[in-house]
Structure 1
Amino acid sequence: MTLPRVAAFTDTYLPTVNGVTYTVRTWRDRWEQRGGRMDVVFPESDHDPAAAEHPVGSIPFPFYDGFRVGLPSVPDAVESADVVHAHTPFGVGLGALRAARAGDRPLVASYHTPCAEYAEYLSVNGRVKRTVRRAATGYERWFLGHADVVVAPSERTAAHVEDVVAVDTEVTVVPNGVDTDVFAPVENPRERFDLPDGPLVGYTGRHGHEKRLDVLVEAVARLDREVTLVFGGDGPARGDLERLVEKRGLDARFLGFLDREDLPAFYAALDVFGFPSPVETQGLVALEANACGTPVAGVDAGALADTIEEGETGYRAPADDPEALAAAIERTFAERDRLGETCLARRDSLSVEHAVDRLAAVYDRLRAQSVRR
């Protein structure tokens, strides 16, 4: 059976490296390996577009350095798509809505990040933040209500869409998946980053204020052992983190953005992956760390409550509680070998191939319904 042609619309893409970019690229690559075509529409940037990549006009986002908002355009090259997939409700996502309506094509909407979490960047006090959060949730409800199916990366996130955002649209779970051909144990990984031999706790990803990386710093400061803290990635909270690390007198390394090929070595170099963010919709980096044999100490909130399997792939602690997170890190250190073996034993279950199988089922069902209409 011929695979449907898909047009994926995303507000975040290369050269920015984050979970959404990684998911869009990996799904597209796997789709093409199966003989299908998935065009990607994204805001114009320094990225040199490859075949089936279509930049549209964009403007800087004034509240988040380095992020650009795409204009709601529909490139001519995607007008023949069978299915439209929006990975954002903003800018480029509105272009996806236009494309679906204009061609009477089914619209799939992925729920990657709760819009309300961006209130941190738009608010000056508590009242404004609450107002922004309510408005953001209302906007999500409006946008997702136009989709034929909402795709959520975890059961916890699907419940949030159904109960908090309160959409009437069908919600189905399609995990983002991990490329287990790439994310695997690495020999002598610390040499690549010139890291010390002692205990390492690390994190990689966007340094956003909503990620609560300050809680990880405070937790490491409470450990009973000397630990080096390692950060990969970058973002608006980095300056505050560097000042907090200096204030707490910790040994910390800030490596900046890491190329995708460097990430397996980064994960494998760590004894514990620290994940204090309470706002994850899946926590893909936690699963990538697991695939490299590294257990996770994170928060018992958001999707991490399901992603981190207590006592199997790591340990959890209440959100915004440095003392409890320190205890989870200590316990993960103590059981590091056993937890790491369990992580490696479960690698196959994390594979992106399973995710694309589910995605294909969603696309095929929607295309069949569209043909019948």
Structure 2
Amino acid sequence: MHAWHPGMSRDARDAREAWISGGRGRSGLRIVIVTENFLPKVDGVTRTLARLLEHLEREGHQCMLLGPGTGMSHYASHPLVGTAGVPLVVYPGLKLNFLRPKFLRVIQDFEPDVVHFVDPIWLGAQTLVALELGWAGQDWVGDGGPAIGTGISGAVVASYHTNLATYATLFGLSWLEPVMWRLQQWLYSKTKLTLCPSPSTRDMLESQSFANVRLWPRGVDLSHFSRAHRCPKMRASWGVGDAPDGRAISGLNMPLTPPASPTVSAAGAGDLPSRNVLLYVGRVSWEKNLVLLLRAYGRLRRTLPPAAVPKLVFVGDGPARPELESICAAQDLDATFMGHRSGAELAQCYASADVFAFPSFTETFGQVVLEALASGLPVVGLDAEGTRDLVAHRHTGLLLPLPPQGAAAPRQGDTSAPPSRAWPAICRDTATPLFDTCVEGYAALLAEACTLHTQREAMAHRACTQGIVGYTWWDAMERCVDGYREAMRMARANRHVSIVSAPSAPAALDPAVPVPAPTATPRISRVNRALSRRLAHRQFREAQMRYRTRAKSEAELAHFKTLAKALLVALAFWWIWTRHLASNGRVVSWDELFTPA
């Protein structure tokens, strides 16, 4: 009855929207997702998006994904439409993707109930403006007509995944951070709702004047990540035996996990040193604050007995991996780089470690933190957005607070600022005494987690039990779908959709009251009637021509302004990129830029 079909009347579409947005569990939503990035690039955003597409398929919803070219035509039965982009040399693996006319035709022909923008900043910004201008159909044009700034009338949702403004400070462009915040606030204001993954991120967005922010948390697959996957062969490949506490590798007494695995004895474990394993999982790039981890680990080597120094293992890939491997080799750090791992291998890496080190402060949620907790690892991180929402200090892990107020602040930072601004300012300049203070504090927490075995085991037990309560993937993805339905209700309310009842029958006339006779209409000659009709028709045509001419001029002016703004943004990105390369002693010529590799 409420299924979508081509050529639906406006009344039928309205009845369908009212039904499908009215309650959870009603299938049949039609969604277009516009994303800046997707598989095969693997990070928290693409993994979450893949989970969402799989959930939408299972729940009977239809989706179209518009984003960068991936070489795939479908994912989880949903069609993918790709576009070309310019590689972002400053950040390998990312592209500045451009809006193509096919995207707008897809939105117009698919007739989605909701358009979902994932981290809109470049491709998303272009598509949002195109919806405002009516390039994807008049159904998305706001009440003020097709013009930039008049708003979008349909159900449009944005999800916030990446602290892009923070990255400006990390790249030495702190002056760009407020500009990025204003740009993002302007883009997200065009949507009905903003979905974010954690309460601390919501507080940060609301402090930047983001409106209608809703939580879209993440989940963890408890059948996949658990302590039951601890693997002695994996530890042997790292050159370590059992942990110093002598914990048996067993699946017993592990709630919230699959049925217990039989006890596994580590063959040859006695030939390997008994050491803890310090694990990092994530993108291997400097904005993850890996300098802090390396320096803190180096301090452990100088302060702990040799037998107590943990093994350092990196799982993941990224642009900083070659340089990081060179630094570890030059400083003789006992580090192993596993590269990208997924599936059962990734689960074994988590479960076979003893402590999870995660010094990043740019997270909006921290999916790897949740996976580590489910695998029974206490987390040693920073008291920053994303991490603090998942880790309870001295309960499921250890969190490094911001340095004391009296410490010398770096030039671009102030410890009195909110954590979202203070951490980037502190950690960007690694030559300051304040950063050394952070290194000492973080090293102390790592040493505590690695040497106090009873406390570590207690935190590990609470991590895989209490630390993951309420984080299932079905509930997490359905919270996003709930956001779709709420956006549809908000769009309907803005359109003032209402059902007008038929007029009631007139009251019976009182026969005692005389009814006046109708007055006679004066006669109009046929010539006068013909002249009046021709004159009215001519005036209507002239008014229509004036309206069309004015509308065409306004549209052309709006298009020119849009192109001019796009050109200015492109020039700004070009200037930032060349300035970054110049600071590293590299100058890119036009021949190098346009000559194919």
Q: TM-score, normalised by structure 1?
A: 0.90
For residues 175 and 45 of structure 2, the distance between their equivalents in structure 1, rounded to whole angstroms, comes to: 26
Q: What is the aligned partner in structure 2 of residue 114 from structure 1?
A: 163
For residues 463 and 448 of structure 2, the distance between their equivalents in structure 1, rounded to whole angstroms, comes to: 16
In the TM superposition, 1:71-110 aligns within 5 A as: 71-73=98-100, 74=103, 76-78=105-107, 79-94=110-125, 96-97=127-128, 101=132, 102=136, 103-104=139-140, 105-110=154-159
Matched residue SS, 1:330? helix
Q: Match for 1:156 among 200, 221, 227?
A: 200
Q: What is the aligned partner in structure 2 of residue 342 from structure 1?
A: 462
For residues 28 and 464 of structure 2, the distance between their equivalents in structure 1, rounded to whole angstroms, comes to: 32
Q: What is the aligned partner in structure 1 of residue 484 from structure 2?
A: 363
Q: What is the aligned partner in structure 2 of residue 166 from structure 1?
A: 209
CA spacing shift, 1:367–1:220, aligned 2, 3 Å: same
For residues 274 and 366 of structure 1, the distance between their equivalents in structure 2, rounded to whole angstroms, comes to: 38
1:208-244 per-residue CA deviation (whole Å, 9 max, x = no partner) reads: 2221111111112222222211111122222332233
Q: What is the aligned partner in structure 2 of residue 57 from structure 1?
A: 84
CA spacing shift, 1:181–1:67, aligned 2, 3 Å: same
Q: What is the aligned partner in structure 2 of residue 211 from structure 1?
A: 288
Superposition deviation, residue 48 in structure 1? 6.0
Please say if 1:177 is aligned against 2:298: no
Q: What is the aligned partner in structure 1 of residue 180 from structure 2?
A: 136
For residues 169 and 317 of structure 2, the distance between their equivalents in structure 1, rounded to whole angstroms, comes to: 17
Q: What is the aligned partner in structure 1 of residue 532 from structure 2?
A: none
Return the letter of the residue paired with 2:283: R
Preserved CA contact (<8 Å) 2:358 2:380: yes
Kindly indicate which of the two structures has a greater share of residues assigned to strand: 1
Return the letter of the residue paired with 1:65: P
Count, aligned residues: 366
Gaps of 5+ in 2: 1-25, 141-153, 242-274, 402-422, 428-437, 496-597
RMSD: 2.3
Most deviating of 39-48 and 334-343: 39-48
Return the letter of the residue paired with 1:143: L
Superposition deviation, residue 154 in structure 1? 0.8
Q: What is the aligned partner in structure 2 of residue 315 from structure 1?
A: 398
In the TM superposition, 1:234-273 aligns within 5 A as: 234-273=317-356
Superposition deviation, residue 280 in structure 1? 1.2
1:127-156 per-residue CA deviation (whole Å, 9 max, x = no partner) reads: xx1222222112111111111111111111
Gaps of 5+ in 1: none
Q: What is the aligned partner in structure 1 of residue 510 from structure 2?
A: none
Preserved CA contact (<8 Å) 1:9 1:95: no
For residues 48 and 350 of structure 2, the distance between their equivalents in structure 1, rounded to whole angstroms, comes to: 18
For residues 229 and 180 of structure 1, the distance between their equivalents in structure 2, rounded to whole angstroms, comes to: 25
Matched residue SS, 1:86? strand
Return the letter of the residue paired with 1:184: S
Q: What is the aligned partner in structure 1 of residue 21 from structure 2?
A: none
Q: Match for 1:220 among 272, 288, 297?
A: 297
For residues 474 and 44 of structure 2, the distance between their equivalents in structure 1, rounded to whole angstroms, comes to: 17
Most deviating of 2-11 and 295-304: 2-11
Preserved CA contact (<8 Å) 2:219 2:476: yes
Superposition deviation, residue 49 in structure 1? 4.1
Matched residue SS, 1:298? strand
Superposition deviation, residue 29 in structure 1? 1.1
1:265-290 per-residue CA deviation (whole Å, 9 max, x = no partner) reads: 12112111101111211111101111
Matched residue SS, 1:350? coil
Matched residue SS, 1:304? coil
Q: Match for 1:278 among 361, 365, 385?
A: 361
For residues 248 and 316 of structure 1, the distance between their equivalents in structure 2, rounded to whole angstroms, comes to: 27
Matched residue SS, 2:229? coil
Q: What is the aligned partner in structure 1 of residue 35 from structure 2?
A: 10
Superposition deviation, residue 351 in structure 1? 1.3
1:52-75 per-residue CA deviation (whole Å, 9 max, x = no partner) reads: 222222221121112222222426
Most deviating of 187-196 and 197-206: 187-196
Return the letter of the residue paired with 2:278: V
Preserved CA contact (<8 Å) 2:195 2:483: no
Q: What is the aligned partner in structure 2 of residue 195 from structure 1?
A: 238
Preserved CA contact (<8 Å) 2:218 2:471: no
Superposition deviation, residue 30 in structure 1? 1.6
CA spacing shift, 1:180–1:108, aligned 2, 3 Å: farther
